[in-house]
Structure formats: C-alpha cells, structure tokens
Amino acid sequence: MRDYTQAAIEIAKEAGALQMDRLHKQKTISYKDQNKFNIVTEVDKACEKLICDYLKDKFPSHDILAEEGSGFDTKSDWLWIIDPIDGTVNYAHGYPLFSVSIGLLHKGKVVVGVVYEPNLDELFVGERGGGAVLNDKPIRVSKNKALDGSMIATGFAYNVNETRLNNIDHFNNFILKCHAVRRDGVASTDLCYIACGRFDGFWELFLKPWDIAAASVIVEEAGGKLSMFDGRPLDIFGNEIVANNGLIHEEMLQILKSSDD
C-alpha cells in the first residue's frame, strides 16, 4: 500500500504546485452544462492530465475515474478516483482554499486517501488500517458530544436552483442548533477538517465520488463516522453524505430526518 500512497502524495503535490503557479493568473473558464454554476478551468484539466498520465504510467493495469473525464474502466480490482481541483469555484475567484483529492479503491473499498491543500501546504493522508495523518502527524476527530457546541460544515450542489432538494431546509435547521455552520466550497477539505478535529460534522447532497472518496478513509482512520442520511453505511456513489466525530452522529441524523429536503 505504501507505494500507492507515496505515488498519490507525489503527484498530488505536483498538481498543487501547478495550481499555485497559476492561481493569480488569468484563467480560461468554461461551463460544463447549461447551468452556469458548474465551471471548469484549464488548470483543472491540466492537473487532471498530469495526475492521470502519472498514474497510468506507474500502474498501467489500474482503472481511473476522474472528474473531468480522463478515466477508463477495464474492471480492474484497483480504481483511482481523482478530483484534480476540489473547490474550482474558489480557485477561479482566487479564494485560497482548494485541494487535490486522490483516492484508491480496492474491490470497491477505499484503501488510500490523499488530500493536499497547496495554499496551506497541508497534506492529509489516510490508509485503511494504518491511521490518518496531517503533514505526517497522527490526527483524531474532536470530542464534542453535542451539536450545540459543534462547528459543522456543508455545501450546496451546482443544481441548487433546479431542485427542491437544495439543502436550504437542512441548513436552516442546523444553523439554529449548532455553535456554527461553515460553507467553504471544498467538500474534501470539509471532511479532512473533521478528521483533524477542526470541524465536528459535515453533510451534503449530490456530491460525486471524487469529492469524497479520498477523504472518507481519512475520516474513518481518524476515528470519525460516515453514513447516508438514514444511517445506512456510506455509499460514495450515492446521493448524500453525513460525516462527524461519531459522537454527534445520532443528533445529526435526527435533524436531517426532520427537514423537508
């Protein structure tokens, strides 16, 4: 596993360096669909190519699923899941929080997760059964036992203005019950911040596997809990996620149940 982890770290850092190099330069933005919220920059594409070319070269028999479409599927037992820039809207606006997210699945289970935030030079790594670290130091989730003392996070999907499941009802309910709710625009970072105890919880709808695969193993290895809104085990290909330190899980599920979304 170590070889896979090292490879993911190496290429995540390279992609991060490219992002920093282009951060304050003019970017070419294109729209992924009719909805003008869903954008991609040429830096997302360049980083994805960099990462995929590297992984293809190093592990030619492995499959790849990558947000901007460079993947392929040969039904290998090994699948890399890549978000070249998580937080593209932040990146495009020059807001300095974004990450490179690289996860590796073996037979459908996430076994390695690497999330790198180049602007803060923070590297989160999780290995199934091997713990979670931030810049090589072991991390653990927080010990907050109740929602009223918790700082949690969420996000809103690009289809926010197209569906009744727009997360606004959940947001309203949580904000009245928690110490604070944050919306930073980088799902992988939100999850890693649970792993290192900065956030106590997180929920979101309509995330994609590349947003959460890598960070999911980091949270679990740091002692956190992940599930669907009804408490079933998390399916990273599913439509929703709730994550936390394990101590506020039931309270979060109750709030999610009480909303109309």
| 74: number of Cβ within 10 Å | 9
Among 64, 79, 82, 157, binds ligand IPD (CB under 6 A): 157
The site for ligand IPD, by CB under 6 A, has a size of: 14
- Contact predicate 71/64, CB 8 Å: yes
Closest CA to 201 of 239, 145, 247, 245: 245
CB of 225 to ligand IPD, least distance (A): 20
Instruction: Read off the DSSP letter of residue 9.
Output: H
Buried-state track 5-25, b at ≥16 Cβ within 10 A, e below 16: bebbbebbbbbbebbeebeee
Among 8, 139, 178, 187, binds ligand IPD (CB under 6 A): 187
Q: Which range of residues in 58-66, 69-77, 81-89, 244-252 is near ligand IPD by CB under 6 A?
A: 81-89
Q: Which residue is nearest to ligand IPD (CB)?
A: 155
Q: Which range of residues in 5-13, 50-58, 150-158, 163-171 is near ligand IPD by CB under 6 A?
A: 150-158
Among 48, 63, 86, 220, binds Ca ion (CB under 5 A): 86
Instruction: Read off the DSSP letter of residue 232.
Output: P
CB of 216 to ligand IPD, least distance (A): 13
Q: Which does 207 bind (CB under 5 to 8 A by kind): Ca ion, ligand IPD, none?
A: ligand IPD
Q: Which does 157 bind (CB under 5 to 8 A by kind): ligand IPD, Ca ion, none?
A: ligand IPD
| Antiparallel, parallel or unpaired: β 180-182 and 151-154 | parallel
Distance CA 71, CA 100 (A): 16
Q: CB-wise, 83 or 251, nearer to ligand IPD?
A: 83
Does position 86 interact with ligand IPD (CB under 6 A)? The reply is: yes
Among 48, 63, 200, 211, binds ligand IPD (CB under 6 A): 211
Residues contacting 21, CB < 8 A, separation 6+: none
- Contact predicate 235/199, CB 8 Å: no
Q: Which two tokens stand for residue 3?
A: 């070889």
Per-residue x/- mask for Ca ion, residues 42 to 81, rule CB under 5 A? -------------------------x--------------
- Touching ligand IPD, residues 118-147 (CB under 6 A): none
Distance CA 12, CA 15 (A): 5
Distance CA 241, CA 3 (A): 29
Q: Please name the amino acid found at residue 130.
A: G
Applying CB under 6 A, which residues contact ligand IPD?
83, 86-89, 155-157, 185-187, 204, 207, 211
Applying CB under 5 A, which residues contact Ca ion?
67, 83, 85-86, 88, 211
